[in-house]
Amino acid sequence: MSSQDIPEENLPAEQDHAHGAVGIADEENPFADPGLPPHEHRIQDIDERAARRSERMVALLFTVSMLATIGFIVAYLVIPNDKSIFVFPIGHLSAMNFALGLTLGVALFCIGAGAVHWARTLMSDVEVADDRHPIEASAEVRAKVHADFRQGAKESAIGRRKLIRTTMFGALALVPLSGVMLLGGLGPAPGTKLRHTMWAKGKRLVNMNTNQPLRPEDVAVGSLTFAKPDGLEETDEEFQTEIAKAALMIVRLQPGNIKDKRELDWSHEGIVAFSKICTHVGCPISLYEQQTHHVLCPCHQSTFDLSDGARVIFGPAGHALPQLRIGVDSEGYLQALGDFEEPVGPAFWERG
């Protein structure tokens, strides 16, 4: 149905929105203003039943958005992290990620689709031309903006279309809950996990390359050896997490070259064990200078003196490398005599 099929007296009244008189092109003015085209009324402007159908459609979209947001929250709380599903033709996917993406996408799409459908079918579609004016916040401009806002609110029928208004507010209020729920995906609070490693009294030092326990005679003077705690295997699910805290570098020095008293007390026959994790941003340290007993982080060139408590002598690192107190067990293998006394790696907000 178009406006041509409706008696003229039933059509909504229109204001004259033409921007000036229609001009005629001539030699002096080849680009005359053609004026605005005749306005065509939509079926919703003519038939209140059609307007109500559009209103119900918009409300349905907003309601679906609310249900999808609730589905997002339920999926986040109910679906296990390790559950997977097969989705053709993509393949196997995380069930939780698929559900979260689908429900959040539907929630956002329905809000957008509802707003677009509302604007295209129920809000005023009359073209309005306005003269350009200086960019200034004069009293007249402010008054006009307020008047236009009130007119737009009136034409949107948000006060009269209570069903749309209620469902829209509901959808907009629920969608932010998706972001709140995602905060839980950051994982549990670390608590004291960052303060402790797998090292404990009696844990043997195992060579990272040979996967064999180390004896004092296996470590030559001037050599650099990397070690891990006994019992930590690369096939373990938590290997990367644990080795990031427990990785150890072992250097054998002449006892007379050790300047720091505590370092000497915590060593065994000149063998010292320090954390391999740089205290700047956590890079693994692997460059050792035998003559100076310095180790260098390859990421940002932080340099530590292993003969003087692994203190920082250059670079952005904020504090010395933590030392592990070591000794030998009854079978002659190197073992830890406890855990590090301070957190390894970069400083963090709980560090004390």
At residue 328, φ and ψ (nearest 5 deg) are: -125, 150
Q: Is 291 helix (H, G, I), strand (E, B) or coil?
A: coil
Regarding pTM above 0.95, the answer is no
Mean of the pLDDT values across residues 292-300? 92
196-213 tens-digit pLDDT:
899 999 999 999 989 999
Q: What is the pLDDT of residue 139?
A: 84
308-345 tens-digit pLDDT:
999 999 999 988 999 999 999 999 999 999 999 888 88
Residue 178 has pLDDT above 90, yes or no: no
Q: How far is CA 336 from CA 178, 268, 272, in A?
A: 47, 11, 11
Q: Which two tokens stand for residue 142?
A: 């402010």
Question: How far apart are alpha carbons 244 and 233 in whole angstroms?
Answer: 13
